[in-house]
Structure 1
C-alpha cells in the first residue's frame, strides 16, 4: 500500500509538471499574464513569490539529493527523487517568469515582504524563510545514515512543506497572474498530500513530525 501511495504521489507530481509546462507556454504567449493584467512589478506579490519560492525550492532539492546518498530505503529514495524533480522544475518556471517579466531574481527587500512579513526576524543560521532548514541542520543531515537520515529528512521536509504551503497560499490570495495562482494552488495540494504521506512514513519508523 505504501508503494502504491508513493506511486500515486509521483504520478500527481508528473501531472503537475506537465500542467506547469502548459502554464509556462500560456504565460509566455500572452506577454506575461493570462488575466489581462499588466506585467507584474518588482514589488508585486507575483514577483516576490517567484523569487522567494525559487530559493525555498532550491533547499528542498539539495536536501532530497543529500538523503538519496544516505539511505538505501527504496521508498524514501523514490520520494526524495520525486520531490527534487518536481521542485527543480517548478523553480525553473518561477525564474523563467522573472526573465519574461524582465525583473530581477534578487531583491533588496527582506524575504516575505510581499506577504507583509518583511519585518520578521532575520533568518537564523541560513533559514531565510518559514520552514527552511538551518545550515546546521543541513550539515547534520549530511552526516547521518540509514534510518536516522530517513527520519531527519522526513521531519525537515515536513517542516519545509508546511512553510511552502503557507507561501503558496499567500500567492493564491495575493498574486494577480492567473497561471501563477494556479501553480501555487497545485503546490498547496501536492505538498499537503506529501505531508500526509511523510507522517505515515515517520510513524513506520517510530517517529513523528517535529511540529
Structure 2
C-alpha cells in the first residue's frame, strides 16, 4: 500500500493541464460570457478487499445536473466553505456520511470544466478507518467502490460518443461491471491514470 500511496502523491505533485468536457470535441462552440461556478469532488481512496479502491456514487435520477450518472461525491462551493477541499469533504459527508475527520487530503488534480458551467476541483483523499456508506436518497441512488488499479490502467479507457444538442459528442468511458463510468468522472480519472503512469 505504501508504494501505491507514494506513487499517488508523486502523481499529484506533477504538473499538468486542466481538462474539460470539450477536450475531445474541439469543434464545439463555447458560449462567450458564460459564468463558471466553483465546485469540488472528493476522489476518496480506501482499503479494499484486494488493494486500494476509489469511492463513486450513482446520482439520483431526480437531480437537475447529471441525473443517474456515476460521479464522485461533490458539488458546488457554498459561501460558508473555507476552501474547495472543504467543499469536497462537506459534500461527501452530506451524500454518503463520510466523516471529514477520517479523510487525509493528499492533494488536488487540475480543474475540470463541465458543459453545465462548473469549474470542478478534484480533491484526492485517503480514507482512514472503517467506512460504511449511508446514502442521502435525495442526492444519491447508490454508493460503490471500484478497484483503483482498474481506473489507473489507461488501456481500460475508450472513447465513445452520443448525440448531444444535435451534434455528436465524444467522451471517455471506463466501464466497471454494471457501472458505466463516463463523461467528467471518466475524464478526471483518466487524467489521474496518465499522471500515475508517468511516475512509474
Larger Rg: 1
What's the TM-score, normalizing by structure 1? 0.30
Greater fraction strand:
2
Greater fraction helix:
1
What's the TM-score, normalizing by structure 2? 0.31
